[in-house]
Amino acid sequence: MLSKKVEKALNEQLNAEMYSSYLYLSMNAYFKSTNLDGFANWMYAQAQEELMHAMKFYDFINQRGGRVVLSRIDSPPVEWDSPQAVFEETLKHEQKVTGLINALVETALSENDHATNIFLQWFVTEQVEEEDSVGSVLEQLKFLGSAKGGLFMMDRELAKRGAPQEITDLL
């Protein structure tokens, strides 16, 4: 059974993960509008992954006898100045999510909720991977600068990213 404090914090994280999915879907739409379909594909896969994260929280709350409470999702931005600006915002957002996950771990520990702490360790590891992946793309974009040919080569490379395995298993 979840304490009310942990249940509330898990629901807040569920909402944050839904916002992340919404944000990356907005970034997908931006890239689609600029004909960078590879970048769009990368963000679409990211949006699916964040939705999967949200559903992990949804299922865990229910499994632990808690009550899922869905709240309003804020509207994400819709315009950016460049692909680099998109990935700068993405990295900043992932760093924020890392902070939220870390705070959630602290809440679970303060409530002596070891099951929730163990559940959250997957997300701690996942955030290391998220920041690394986004940071890698951002560094490549910085390296390219204004080289349009490099941008299109990168677009082609990002088109290769597939949907998360958990999503493809559902299909």
Any idea which residue has 């040919």 for tokens?
149
Q: Find the Cα–Cα–Cα–Cα dihedral 88, 89, 94, 96, rounded to 10°.
A: 120
pLDDT of residue 162: 80
pLDDT per residue of the chain (171 residues) written in tens, 0 to 9: 899 999 999 999 999 999 999 999 999 999 999 999 999 999 999 999 999 999 999 999 999 999 999 999 999 999 999 999 999 999 999 999 999 999 999 999 999 999 999 999 999 999 999 999 999 999 999 999 878 889 999 999 999 988 766 655 554
pLDDT of residue 171: 45
* Residue 137 burial (C-beta neighbours within 10 Å; 0-12, 13-18, 19+): buried
Q: Structural domain boundaries of the chain?
A: 4-170
pLDDT of residue 167: 57
Contact between residue 18 and residue 30 where contact means Cβ atoms under 8 Å apart: no
pLDDT of residue 166: 63
Topology annotation, domain 4-170: Ferritin (1.20.1260)
